[in-house]
Amino acid sequence: MGAVPMKKITLTVATCSLLLSLFAVGQSAGQKEKPLSPSEKMDELFDFWNRLDQPGFAVVVVKEGQVVYQKVFGLACQEHAVAITPKTVFNVATVAKPFVGMAVALLEKEGKLSLDDDVRKYIPEIPDFGTPVKVRHLLYQTSGLRDWLSVLQLSGRDKEEVTFEQVLKIVKAQKQLAFPPGDRFQNSNTNYDLLAETIKRASGRPFSDWAWENIFKPLKMTRTQFRDNSRSIFDDQAFTYNFTRREYLKGIDNLSLAGSHSLFTSIADLAKWLVNLETGQVGGPDIFAKMFTPGRLNNDRSAGFGYGLNVGAGPGGRQVSQTGDWAGSGAVLVHIPDRKFGFVVLANWDYTPVAGFVQGIIETYLPLPAEPVKKSPPAAAGKAVKVKPEKLDAYAGDYRIAPGRVFSISRAGDRLSLTVPGAKFVLTTLSETEFLLDVAEARITFQKDKDGNVRQFVWKQGGDEQIAPKIVLVKPTPLELQEFAGSYFNEELDLRYAVELRGDALIVTAPGQNDIRLAPDEKDHFAASSRAIPMVIFQRDGQNRVTGLIIDSDPVRDLVFKRTF
């Protein structure tokens, strides 16, 4: 839901990059002789989606304080064929967070709260974890508090109504923080729901009312509102849908919780918000300068997150952004302050790749200047150099790019190849350690440990970087799998998982969830067929006996399920 923030490179992202690269080649071959205007390029970018027989999306682009592009596509209500309009209200999911961040900045300016306040000053029900969790830790996503959504997904209760009382119950059940506050960034929706409650108690008004009076009303964002009750309705609302191969399913929006989510707004209103990010008409330029500045970790490194916004660098310069998806909706907001440029894309079904449009929109309005032609050595120009086969052999093997996602490297002759399910690509050798995947413009750099053994590669693509450790995949027999079968219990969540051997596979059964199949990865690691549980890692004691399991997912990695039999 989130982060467009730097993300872990997954197989899906890599595959999309390959397809987009191939598509661009085909498109340039048939390009019209007359250069297209930015609006025509945008129309071309969205042409595939421009239909009135399916749910859709809305786009607005603001440059130098003016709306330069605004269009809507598809249906707000599939059942009654009602078209989306610029005033149609969308659920923008976690794009709500910058508005919470602005509220904090405004109250801070008024002296009604301080970033150095202990959150327990406002919400004393929060446990004393032995070290203060401050307002700044919530704001910059460095608190160590567990994400309520991840907890509910693990327990199969994510389709129940979610209220602040339920979030607070999850916080109170947490035995210890995942890490000392301020030590590292970890996205947690809990942080921003606690911030909304802090604003409520500091101001003496419900957060949704405060936001209306101090942000939306002054900006004349009359179609914008935080929702406190999941049953509330809005005029001209874009209903959300999940898409399957057979049918559309209504999105399940069960949040009676304003803060990290539950902001409903239109593309016309968000145009006013984007303009205000430049002008500071409401709040003042100093508020937004603060919002665009990332927090600092305890080691003084950047947290990469400001007041509800991911903060980083992009092709157009300094970039702040937020993305979100919920109940079939999708949203992405990007602002590039130094270029006075920003845009929002909203969708009401989960088939529309809102984040996938980001690069195309930026390149349409902020094209990079052509680089001067320079004489470069063959490696810099992407031409292969020769490396001895025995050195290349050291790189052959499997590398985990994300939980359950493995890239395989092999050698044929004097070249390396990268294999993903369904495709194999030959790499260009740039040096003894660096290789190029031409079609994706991605570079792979192999790294060795102190003993000279290859331990990982670094995948670099489009400014993002991801480490992929080298692993040895195992194929345990049913007899070997039997040692993992048993019952596993976590006291904090009061949650029990059963691991069963069925035929030649391990199956995890949990309350309220479909059976989860485990596929062997490396020793004691299993990829899981679940969004909430991407990978399971079993633990052993000194006698090599299986004693528990952990789930390889940042928000809940410190949760240990102890084996009870």
Please, are residues 54 and 82 in contact by the beta-carbon 8 Å criterion? Answer: no
Q: Which pLDDT score is estimated for 383? A: 60
Structure tokens at 146: 């567990």
Q: Which amino acid is at 20?
A: L
C-beta pairs of 29-38 under 8 Å, 24+ apart in sequence: 38/68, 38/69, 38/364, 38/365
The predicted structure's pLDDT at residue 312? 92
Q: Which two tokens stand for residue 102?
A: 């602005």
Q: Are strands 464-471 and 310-314 parallel, antiparallel or unpaired?
A: unpaired
Contacts of the segment 233-236: beta carbons below 8 A, 24+ positions apart: 234/89, 234/264, 235/89, 236/76, 236/85, 236/87, 236/88, 236/89
Closest CA to 277 of 395, 413, 129, 105: 105
For 151-175, write each residue's pLDDT tens digit: 999 988 888 999 999 999 999 999 9
DSSP symbol at 340: T
CA nearest neighbour of 266 among 346, 328, 353: 346
Please state at what angle helix 38-45 crosses helix 358-365, rounded to 10 degrees.
Answer: 170
What tens digit of pLDDT does each residue of 381-417 get? 446 689 999 999 999 999 999 888 899 999 999 999 9
CA nearest neighbour of 41 among 380, 264, 363: 363
What are 349's strand-pairing partners?
241
Q: Which H/E stretch holds residue 84?
A: none
Burial state string for 48-76 with b = 16 or more CB within 10 A and e = fewer than 16 = ebeeeebbbbbbbbbbeeebebbbbbbbb
Distance CA 487, CA 456 (A): 34
3-state secondary structure of 197: helix
Quote the pLDDT of residue 35. 87
pLDDT at position 382 is 47
Separation between Cα atoms, residue 451 and residue 90, nearest integer Å:
55
CA atoms of 233 and 328, how far apart (whole Å): 17
Which domains are delineated in the chain? Answer: 1-35+379-471 (2.40.128.50), 69-123+201-365 (3.40.710.10), 478-563 (2.40.128.50)
Q: Name, in order, each residue with C-beta under 8 angstroms of 549's C-beta and a sequence gap of 6 or more.
A: 488, 497, 499, 536, 537, 538, 539, 560, 561, 563
First to last CA, the chain: 37
Q: What's residue 421's pLDDT?
A: 83
3-state secondary structure of 8: coil
Q: Which residue has the tokens 């195992």?
A: 474
Kindly state the tokens that stand for 186.
């970890």
What helix, strand, coil percent values describe the chain, rounded to 5?
Answer: 25, 30, 45
Task: Identify the segments of the chain with pLDDT beneath 50.
Answer: 1-32, 372-382
**Tokens read off for 450:** 């102190």
DSSP 213: I
Backbone angles phi, psi at 255, to 5 degrees: -95, 115
* Cβ within 8 Å of residue 232, ≥6 positions away: none
| Conformational region of residue 277, where left means phi above 0, alpha means psi within -120 to 50, and beta covers everything else | alpha
Predicted TM-score (pTM) of the model is 0.85
Helix (H, G, I), strand (E, B) or coil at 345: strand
Bridge partners (DSSP) of residue 130 are: none
Cα radius of gyration rounded to whole Å, the chain: 25
